[in-house]
Homo-oligomer: A and B are copies of this chain.
Amino acid sequence: MLHALIMAGGGGTRFWPRSRKARPKQFLALTGERTLLQATYERIEVQVPPERAWVVTSAAHQAVAGKQLPSLPANQIIGEPCGRDTAPCIGLGAALIARRDPEAVMLVLPSDHVIEPAQEFRRIAHAAALLADEHPHALITFGIVPTWPSEGYGYIRRGTELPSRQGIAVHRVAQFREKPKKEVAVEYLASGDYYWNAGIFVGRAAAFLDQLHQHEPEMFAGLQRIADTWGTPRQHAVLNDIFPTLHKISIDFAVLEKAPEVLVLRAPYKWDDVGSWLALERLHPQDAAGNTVLADHAGVETANCVVVGDQGKLIATVGVSNLVIVQDGDCILIAERSKESDVKKIVELLGKRGLEKHL
């Protein structure tokens, strides 16, 4: 049976001030009425009913995740005592799911991407699940056809082509490549042989565990000990004891780059990782002056701004352009659009000044 493991552990400062420690990006409704986490699960709900859906998040966000996905059983919303990157996260999910169903296929999903239309996502998920049944040792990734030479994403080079499934192209993975420099990214794009790594992984839970057993035996042993006490009174004590000791490493490094059979499916959907406030320009329409407005806004001679604010608060602008303006509760951010990634410096500054209440 198909299970889903939704990774909702991200922290991140790029959406400050709307995203605070208490509410990272995946828990925000940046693109519509539903939060990114809710949209992630709704997209696959018809294929994965709640009894087979799992969320891994930080212990601090277990409550908000449960509130946003009330249909999920409480013991399937797992709170990591600390972040150890994606290998321990996915490994723990795999261990718990395999105990429930040794034949389970697992769909591992980031919780903070925008994917449309949902039916195209379900088509590729279905194709991946079929492949995982046919190739019991395979690990499967999704590849996004790149539209510009991004330096911010990992790339996947396609190898041998396999027969397509559900009209979706299937290749063996020839190579994973880390975030490249600009000129390298330009070459990748020109070659036509590369996808962006969408951060989605599919395979039998047992296949993930086999690879961890082989390449990260200590992590595997630790995960088994946690899984063995799951559902017992010792569950929390053992999780808190062992999880922080696990090797902090990504699933890509730990397993994907070493596994003998890794496949990639060409994603048929539109994808956006909502990397920063400027992503809202791709996800919402602009007014005649190029402004993207998600706020009560009164503008005079205002152009190419992104304006986000709470309902009932008025943001007025006069003679400005190329600004990102975000009002949230007791904080306001005003950033030049090309400097928007420096929002993290504000977060650092607030930490240094002891103004954690705003974080």
Question: Is A162 engaged at the interface, CB distance under 8 Å to the other chain?
Answer: no
Q: Verify A300–B345 contact, CB threshold 8 A.
A: yes
Stretch with Cβ within 8 A of B (4 or more), from A41-49, A231-239, A323-331: A323-331
**A318 in contact with B331 given A342-B301, A349-B300, A355-B298 (CB within 8 Å):** no
Question: Is A215 engaged at the interface, CB distance under 8 Å to the other chain?
Answer: no
Contacts of A339 in B (CB 8 A): 300-301, 318-320
Contacts of A353 in B (CB 8 A): 298
Question: Is A283 engaged at the interface, CB distance under 8 Å to the other chain?
Answer: no
Stretch with Cβ within 8 A of B (4 or more), from A82-90, A135-143, A308-316: A308-316
Q: Verify A346–B316 contact, CB threshold 8 A.
A: yes
Question: Is A186 engaged at the interface, CB distance under 8 Å to the other chain?
Answer: no
Residue of B301, B336, B355 near A320 (CB, 8 A) is B336
Question: Is A333 engaged at the interface, CB distance under 8 Å to the other chain?
Answer: yes
Residue of B nearest to A325 (CB): B334
Question: Is A17 engaged at the interface, CB distance under 8 Å to the other chain?
Answer: yes
Number of copies: 2
Contacts of A323 in B (CB 8 A): 320, 334
Q: Verify B342–A316 contact, CB threshold 8 A.
A: no
Query: Which residues of A, 21-69, contact B by the 8 Å Cβ criterion?
Result: none
Question: Is A338 engaged at the interface, CB distance under 8 Å to the other chain?
Answer: yes
Question: Is A335 engaged at the interface, CB distance under 8 Å to the other chain?
Answer: yes
**Minimum Cβ distance to chain B for residue A86 (Å):** 30
Question: Is A118 engaged at the interface, CB distance under 8 Å to the other chain?
Answer: no
CA distance A16 to B298 in the complex (A): 13
Number of interface residues of A (CB under 8 A): 38
CA distance A346 to B315 in the complex (A): 10
Question: Is A168 engaged at the interface, CB distance under 8 Å to the other chain?
Answer: no
Q: Verify A346–B300 contact, CB threshold 8 A.
A: yes
**Minimum Cβ distance to chain B for residue A17 (Å):** 7
**A334 in contact with B320 given A298-B355, A342-B300, A346-B300 (CB within 8 Å):** yes
Question: Is A343 engaged at the interface, CB distance under 8 Å to the other chain?
Answer: yes
**Minimum Cβ distance to chain B for residue A261 (Å):** 46
Question: Is A317 engaged at the interface, CB distance under 8 Å to the other chain?
Answer: yes
Question: Is A228 engaged at the interface, CB distance under 8 Å to the other chain?
Answer: no
Residue of B nearest to A317 (CB): B334
Question: Is A340 engaged at the interface, CB distance under 8 Å to the other chain?
Answer: yes
Question: Is A350 engaged at the interface, CB distance under 8 Å to the other chain?
Answer: yes
**Minimum Cβ distance to chain B for residue A245 (Å):** 37
Residue of B318, B320, B330, B332 near A312 (CB, 8 A) is B330
**Minimum Cβ distance to chain B for residue A15 (Å):** 13
Residue of B318, B333, B335, B345 near A333 (CB, 8 A) is B318
Question: Is A358 engaged at the interface, CB distance under 8 Å to the other chain?
Answer: yes
Q: Verify B355–A334 contact, CB threshold 8 A.
A: no
Q: Verify B315–A332 contact, CB threshold 8 A.
A: yes
CA distance A312 to B315 in the complex (A): 18
**Known contacts A314-B358, A317-B335; 15 further A-B pairs (Cβ under 8 A):** A298-B346, A314-B331, A314-B350, A315-B332, A316-B332, A316-B334, A316-B346, A317-B333, A317-B334, A319-B335, A319-B336, A319-B338, A323-B334, A325-B332, A332-B332
